[in-house]
């Protein structure tokens, strides 16, 4: 994306540097369960401005007085959680690095979620990267003028909200078995918040507790990493333990589970912006487009790319029994623009937005990037390929 920097980085890259980088990265909290790419992505200022313009337009929609009414049907009835707050504490926006009809690079929104991602791990990744590689000083992974210290303060304030760390837990389903567990351990290191499984919750009336060194300790705030859809796929005893989360509890959420559904693919048809592909609810599509090859079909309530239909036929649409739970989205063209030693890679940039307490709007804070050489972004499309996997963007300041 910045040809001079890309050429310079690639010419200075060595396998020995990369292996030393991986060794240190994996030595901190154990072996990372996903592939770490060989390179960051250099993002020029004009591209960043387009990214943030799209994000801000979405925030404008979220701030509209009728947003909750418009998105009420986004939350599955059986998964609605009580005591929802007024705004989402965090939002992540995924953009493909795409090429338009004028053969120019541009970001295009792929999806968004009011749900955490690797907020803490990206700090470790940035730290270790600069021990083994270099980049120009006017490029940074941190956004909005933040640096490592101010970003960690913002993250810590967001997660703790004034509580002592022992009264805040990172809640997940069997956290130590998750592929993203490195982020949980980094979160604990930087903030003092421990990862806790939903099966370890102890309820007493409206209050929740957990055992800390054998002592029942009050939970006042939950850093929620539970995807509630996944609860429905667990064994009965796990679902039974998790039922407590749907009760009227004296606990704060970060973020509240309902926002996971409100700000999602469900929201895309409500937004118009040059960097957001045209999207319709499938049950509101009056005529099937003749150029179906230019569209993608996505289920509203599935994640990590599951169920997406890329090469659509009219039969695919006709055979869908619940069109109200699907969207038809204009297809974007990912650009194979990241030059690597063999074939170029595609990139998807995830921008982190945090909503500080009492702030009028959320602010951009950090990012992660995924590189792919396959048909889609994801591990199963990149087997045995190098210069793919998780990394971060370095944005021109």
> pLDDT, tens digit, for every residue of 142-172?
999 999 999 999 999 999 999 999 999 999 9
Chain centre to alpha carbon of residue 109: 12
Strand order in the sheet with 389-391: 105-113, 90-99, 346-354, 363-372, 389-391
Going by C-alpha positions, the residue among 386, 378, 347 that lies closest to residue 99 is: 347
Can you name the residues that pair with 222 across neighbouring β-strands? 169, 253
Q: How far apart are CA 308 and CA 120, in angstroms?
A: 29
pLDDT score recorded for residue 320: 92
Going by C-alpha positions, the residue among 119, 114, 83, 354 that lies closest to residue 221 is: 83
What is the rounded average pLDDT of the residues 244-250?
97
Residue scoring higher pLDDT (378 or 98): 98
pLDDT score recorded for residue 302: 67
Asked whether 257 and 228 are in contact (CB, 8 A), the reply is yes
Instruction: Detail the DSSP E strand segments found in 7-121.
Output: 41-43, 90-99, 105-113
Contacts of 165 (CB under 8 A, 6+ apart): 191, 192, 193
pLDDT score recorded for residue 136: 96
DSSP string, 322-368: -GGGEEEEE---B---B--SSS-BEEEEEEEEE--TT-SS-EEEEEE
Which runs of consecutive H residues, i.e. helices, occur in 245-303?
257-262
């Amino acid at each position: 994306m910045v040809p001079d920097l890309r050429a310079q980085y690639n010419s200075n890259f060595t396998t020995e540097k990369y292996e030393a980088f991986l060794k240190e990265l994996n030595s901190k909290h154990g072996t990372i369960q996903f592939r770490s790419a060989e390179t960051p992505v250099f993002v020029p200022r004009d591209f960043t401005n387009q990214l943030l313009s799209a994000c801000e337009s979405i925030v404008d929609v979220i701030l509209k007085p009728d947003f909750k009414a418009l998105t009420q049907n986004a939350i599955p009835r059986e998964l609605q959680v009580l005591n929802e707050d007024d705004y989402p504490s965090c939002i992540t926006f995924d953009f493909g690095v795409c090429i338009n009809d004028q053969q120019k690079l541009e970001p295009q929104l792929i999806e968004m979620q009011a749900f955490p991602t690797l907020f803490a791990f990206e700090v470790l990744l940035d730290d270790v990267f600069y021990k083994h590689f270099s980049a120009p000083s006017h490029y940074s992974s941190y956004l909005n003028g933040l640096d490592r210290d101010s970003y960690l303060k913002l993250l810590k304030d967001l997660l703790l909200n004034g509580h002592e760390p022992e009264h805040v837990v990172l809640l997940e389903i069997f956290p130590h078995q998750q592929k993203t567990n490195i982020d949980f351990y980094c979160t604990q290191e930087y903030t003092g918040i421990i990862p806790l499984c939903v099966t370890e919750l102890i309820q007493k009336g409206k209050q929740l507790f957990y055992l800390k060194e054998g002592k029942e300790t009050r939970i006042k705030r939950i850093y929620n990493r539970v995807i509630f859809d996944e609860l429905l796929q667990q064994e009965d005893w796990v679902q039974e333990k998790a039922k407590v989360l749907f009760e009227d509890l004296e606990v704060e959420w970060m973020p509240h589970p309902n926002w996971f559904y409100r700000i999602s693919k469900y929201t895309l048809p409500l937004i118009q912006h040059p960097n957001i592909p045209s999207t319709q609810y499938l049950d509101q599509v009056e005529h099937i487009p003749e150029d179906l090859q230019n569209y993608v079909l996505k289920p509203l309530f599935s994640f990590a790319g599951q169920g997406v239909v890329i090469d659509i036929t009219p039969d695919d649409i006709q055979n869908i029994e619940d069109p109200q739970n699907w969207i038809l989205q204009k297809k974007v063209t990912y650009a194979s623009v990241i030059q690597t030693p063999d074939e170029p890679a595609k990139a998807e940039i995830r921008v982190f937005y945090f909503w500080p307490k009492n702030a009028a709007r959320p602010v951009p804070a950090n990012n992660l990037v995924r590189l792919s050489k396959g048909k889609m972004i994801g591990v199963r499309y990149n087997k045995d390929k190098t210069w793919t996997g998780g990394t971060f963007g370095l944005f021109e300041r």
